Structure 1
């Protein structure tokens, strides 16, 4: 009986190890290593991939938007000054949307760096400070608006006391609150089919899912996981990537399936880049990292 139990236990152990390896390799490419591309920045944030797989990210303290060229792994300055940009996202016309924190605005930037300011106030009040952005299938824009006091602001309190999630209609003519009652909404990402929006409330250390309606409004708020996040992303299997202590990956059911350790005090954001959208691009403190993946990012 003892022999049978030991044998059975050995089988279970083997299955467990094999399962863990399979789980890991199903997300991260086998033998892939986290690569530090650069550590020359002050605080990196807001990575966003264009249609060619190049990734743009911000160095907010130094007021820059930097471009990582996916073809040759090189870095160059795209825009400086950059409105103290934080979160970034590309719209369907390959224009870069930026949460321009300096004057609490949302920008749309063309390939030549020309700026179109989309919004700076709501109901006559200055926004708290747009933070992260996601664009839906119709071209409507969701953005989170927490409040983080900045040393470069003259004001010391928010005009809008609530920390909301807003939606700009595809024609850019209407702005509405679509999620409220949040402590400090931060990361935001939607599913490829445009049906679910995830919002990380870093203030209460939870991440929620919402059902997206045809008019862009949100319903059916549900707790996705009891972990908050700074920035976040999604892959083509529907897995959600949360940041803070490295990168923690959850499947669409809210079960943790993997953790990517990053040797930094804080991991701020994450996205997919590269020609095939199979490179995980991570911003953490003053550094940027890449990791080869077996899953792909989502590009419309």
Structure 2
């Protein structure tokens, strides 16, 4: 047995022994109580064990039939989790990972490292990670449309672009009604050739883009210089629009489908498998906001034949066991279940992924040692869930498939 495992078992035994000796005078944190029933078998290594599980290639293998950090909350999840499939950390070294998207033809994953102003690529054949595009204009959300073209939301330039099959780039949207977009965040394709994307203000900060020009809502005092370190054309933008969700049809016409009165600070979004519903995440107040901001929840709308949203309602407030598991990115599987990234802050064991039925019932969780920003399904069979989490990229095989191109 690995000496580290021996040490871990010994520490747990000492902890249990100390707790028994001191009785109620010791108050253990919630995660410690959750590790195992008294007198039960040894606890699998997980995100909440002490010392924490090592997800790297140097860490001990997961020898248990089901990964201890893939949790069934409702029996409905048992048919979606893949037995004997471990969570793997594929790579680490980013500053803030976002926007994972799977390329089916090239069999690689592309994702954004926003503060480092680059896109990264993980190749399935050998697990190699390389810089895919730099600079990326602080890109955030990525996707591939039904023709295999990459779509990217750029914070720095406050626009949406498409990379054509010949290698050229097309600016799809940069303004609405003559006013510059805020900072497009996430984008999804529709079979009718349209693209739907969100436009919150999170890119109007030095770390993930650039602030407004002097006097703008995100730089009112004008002390910050938005031109420093940027190409000459950058630095003149200032926030002009409220946050919103947009639809860009294949003719190039841009339409607002939801304003901040319906979904303040819209972030991640996805369609149901039949494209009759649109799910939109609403996150907290952003730079230059004059509104209270979102509440870290998700809303669902019916998509009418007129491509307008109807019957909006709250899908979930993402309170789990009294912990706010704030969503960011979301993807649907073929049965319409929603796989949502989770940001639980310092609540150890609640960051990662939460899984919900189309009716809004929590059925499963995936625990990661880092806050998760976004997810997508990929792999040749589209049955592998990729998780862009803070500084790292994780993956786990599932027993289902993603509903649409990622």
Distance 1:31 1:79, change over 3 A: same
Q: Identify the residue that residue 14 of structure 1 maps to in structure 2.
A: none
- How far residue 22 of structure 1 moved from its aligned partner, in angstroms, is 4.9
Secondary structure of 1:61's partner? coil
Residue 156 of structure 2: SS of its match in structure 1? helix
Q: Which position in structure 1 is the counterpart of 2:235?
A: none
Indicate if the aligned counterparts of 1:45 and 1:269 stay in contact, CA closer than 8 A. yes
In structure 2, the partner of 1:260 is 366
The answer on whether the counterparts of 1:70 and 1:275 sit within 8 Å (CA) in structure 2 is no
Alpha carbons 2:273, 2:335 under 8 Å: kept: no
Q: Residue deviations 1:90-138, cap 9 Å, x none? A: 1111110000111101000135642111111111111110000111120
Q: Which has the higher strand share?
A: 1
Task: Find the aligned partners of 2:254 and 2:403 in 1 and give their Cα distance.
Answer: 26
Equivalent residue of 2:115, what SS?
Answer: helix
The yes-or-no answer on 1:229 pairing with 2:327 is: yes
**Please, which of 334, 340, 353 is the counterpart of residue 247 of structure 1?**
353
The equivalent of 1:286 in structure 2 is 391
List per-residue Cα deviations over 1:246-292 (Å, max 9, x = no partner): 1000011100000100101x210000010000110000111000101
Aligned to 1:165: 245
* Selected match of 1:141 from 177, 191, 195: 195
Aligned runs of 1:1-300 on 2, under 5 Å?
22-52=75-105, 53-111=107-165, 113-148=167-202, 149-151=204-206, 152-155=209-212, 156-157=216-217, 159-172=239-252, 174-180=253-259, 181=261, 182-202=263-283, 203-227=294-318, 228-243=326-341, 244=343, 245-264=351-370, 266-299=371-404
**Quick one: distance in 2 between partners of 1:100 and 1:166?**
15
Q: Aligned partners of 1:281, 1:205: CA distance in 2, in Å?
A: 22
In structure 2, distance between residues paired with 1:38 and 1:237 = 30
TM-aligned CA distance change 1:141 to 1:20, over 3 Å: closer
Residue 161 of structure 1 and its aligned partner are, at CA, apart by 4.3
User: Structure 2 vs 1, CA of residues 30 and 22 (structure 1 numbering), >3 Å: closer, same or farther?
Assistant: farther
Secondary structure of residue in 2 paired with 1:103: coil
Equivalent-residue separation in structure 1 for 2:266 and 2:355 (angstroms): 19
Q: 1:130 to 1:21 in 2, by over 3 A?
A: closer
Q: Number of aligned residue pairs: give it.
A: 280
| 282-291 vs 240-249, which moves further | 240-249
- Name the CA shift for 1:161/1:237 in 2 (closer, same or farther; >3 Å): same
Work out which of the two has the higher radius of gyration on C-alpha atoms and give 1 or 2: 2
In structure 2, C-alpha distance between the alignment counterparts of 1:24 and 1:225, rounded to whole Å: 18
* Paired residue secondary structure (1:25): helix
SS of match in other structure, 2:373 = strand
8 A contact 1:109–1:115 mirrored in 2: yes
Higher RCO (CA < 8 A, seq sep 6+): 1
Distance 1:160 1:277, change over 3 A: same
Of the structure 1 ranges 272-281 and 109-118, higher mean CA displacement relative to structure 2 is found in 109-118
Can you give the 5+ residue segments of structure 1 that lack an aligned partner in the other structure?
A: 1-18
Alignment RMSD: 1.8
Please give the TM-score of this superposition, normalised by the length of structure 2: 0.66
Q: Single out whichever of 130-139 and 71-80 deviates more from structure 2.
A: 71-80
